[in-house]
Amino acid sequence: MAEKIKKRKEIPEEFKWDLSAIFTSDEAWEKECETVRRDLEKYSAFKGKLGTDPEALLAFFKLSDDLNVRVSKIYGYASCSSDGDTADGYYQNMRSKAVSVAVAANAATSFATPEITAIPSDVLERFFKEEPELKTYRRPIEYRRKMSEHVLSAECEKILSEAGEMARGPEQIASVFRDADIRFPDVKDKNGEEHELTGETLVPLLQSEDRVLRENAFCEFYKTYRGFRNTVASTLDANFKTLVFFAKTRKYETTLDAALSDTEVPASVYRNLISSVHANLDKMYRYVSLRRKMLGVDELHMYDVYVPLVAESSRKISFEEAKTTVLDALSVLGEDYTDMLKEGFRDRWIDVYQNVGKRGGAYSSGSPYPHPYVLLNHTDDLESMFTLAYEMGHALHSYYSLKNQPVCTNEYVIFVAEVASTCNEILLMRHLLSKTDDKKERMALVNHFLDSFKGTVFRQTMFAEFELFMGEKAEAGEALTADLLDGKYLELNKLYFGPDMISDDGIALEWARIPHFFYNYYVFQYATGFSAAAAIAERILKEGKPAVDDYKRFLSGGFSADPVSLLKIAGVDMSTPAPVDSALSLFGDLVDEMERLASEK
């Protein structure tokens, strides 16, 4: 029997994040919740005054800065605490309370946007002259005014804000189901030894060289999900009905338009990504064909997608080794960057290992106060090392923005969220490739790079197309049934993987395990972010300091400009198809290199 997953209390403290930097105790958190709820009442003093008094407008924004930081800390502490053990009722209740405080804060300020958007332009310019400090808030003010056609009356805005807690329901239900409730049977390898199957162990099991174990893990995992497919479909249906309600209420034509409006990204970027990837699926088909040949199988199945093509790539990489290698790889970004990395390692920003009930996957917390926190489920392998680099890219992006922007513009929008993380991954890959001439090791690294492309550009674009399908069906008034979702997902899987892949029946249910389908058109940004990051990383390696300086200005930009403009600072123009086309061309080049390496005697 494989080693059992530890309980949280069995994980050494040095491998768990230190939340005392936010609150020294749960009791201190509870007290701050009560204090913030009372302080939210201070907003009422500004109602009806924002368009008539520049001093009141400035005071309102200063109060918002203070309370936004405090609410962010409340939510960050509760979120991290509950994600450490999703089965702990106390922390699940804490998370619920935190969401309630955040919703209350939104409701308390719901009058602000209608009042600010109603200020005549000449009056607003006079305000900026009379109160120079107001210029700090010009960007958020202009952003709100740009959204004016989608802003409702103060009363309606309050209702929508108060509905926010209910709107999170489908995602929360699906998360608890995935992380705390669903259980899978143990699975056997070719020798009859049993292995524990969970949402977190699935991919490691699919990376095994033992094809019997891979097939058993795949089949049992989706066989289990098949018993809950209607439940998960219902949560997705409820989620998209919620998105349709909010989109229609705010007078958007589609849920996609509503989602992208917040980030000031044209919907054409989303649709163009799908079109560009469709036009380059031949490169994906070549990769799939190469994988079948290198594995030496007559038929390539979906349970063969994750297994490394070179045995040496499965060697153990401890967390300590991963940290050292990541620091070396990212030294090209300068000492100030690596000093921040060391700070994160030293001060326990990171929750490292899996434990029973811990949230799956990995993330960098959205709350940067007093610094970001990173959740991992580290498994001492190459993939985990890349995940460390990736999530710390997110974290340091947040940290740079926190240190260089005022509160009102220090949180970047999600369209650029994947750039820094993926740039770190690419720099790590380039570093590792530069350190070896060994054919097998190089093949393993190129394979990993190819799999990153496959997973981040092709796969996430497939997800984006599936999500667009769900949105369009929901907008047309159709129910997202399990049969409908199974059929579309299987169709897309066949399209994206091509004729050399056997799209096993179980893969039709993969949609049920993907948490990102609850994230409101998030996934396409993995693909666009990867494309932008590839361009930035190549520029850094070719040009050195000038490119690094531009990149750090981008990292420090936060919300100070729209995301397309911020990326232009780093030398990438996402208003054109060039970055995506360039990334797909690089994928083709990597397939060429792998074919050459595989053919060498």
Residues 215, 220, 391, 467: which is the catalytic one? 391
**Could you tell me the two tokens for 114?**
């209608």
What is the C-alpha to C-alpha distance for residues 556 and 566, in angstroms, rounded to an integer? 10
Instruction: Give the C-alpha distances (Å, rounded to integers) separating 321 from 380, 381, 384, 456, 575.
Output: 9, 10, 11, 25, 39
Which tokens belong to 477? 């008034």
In this structure, are residues 593 and 446 in contact, taking their beta carbons and an 8 Å threshold? Answer: yes
How far is residue 290's CA from residue 297's CA, in Å, rounded to a whole number? Answer: 11
The string of DSSP codes covering 288-345 is HHHHHHHHT-SSEEGGGSSS-SSGGGG----HHHHHHHHHHHGGGG-HHHHHHHHHHH
391 is catalytic: yes
Closest to 539 (Cα-Cα) out of 584, 576, 579: 579
Three-class SS state of 374: strand
Report the 10 Å Cβ neighbour count for 479.
12
Tokens of 460: 């996430």
The Cα 530–Cα 426 span in angstroms is 9
How many whole angstroms separate alpha carbon 398 and alpha carbon 419? 12
Which residue in this structure is represented by tokens 């795949």? 218
Report residue 234 as tokens. Answer: 């219902």
The DSSP result for 411-435, as a single string, is S--GGGHHHHHHHHHHHHHHHHHHT
The contacts of residue 4 (CB under 8 Å, 6+ apart) are 196
Alpha carbon distances (Å) from 597 to 241, 283, 468, 567 = 50, 17, 38, 35
Is residue 521 within 8 A of residue 256, CB to CB? The reply is yes
Could you please report the per-residue DSSP string of 529-545? HHHHHHHHHHHHHHH-H
What residues are annotated to the active site? 391
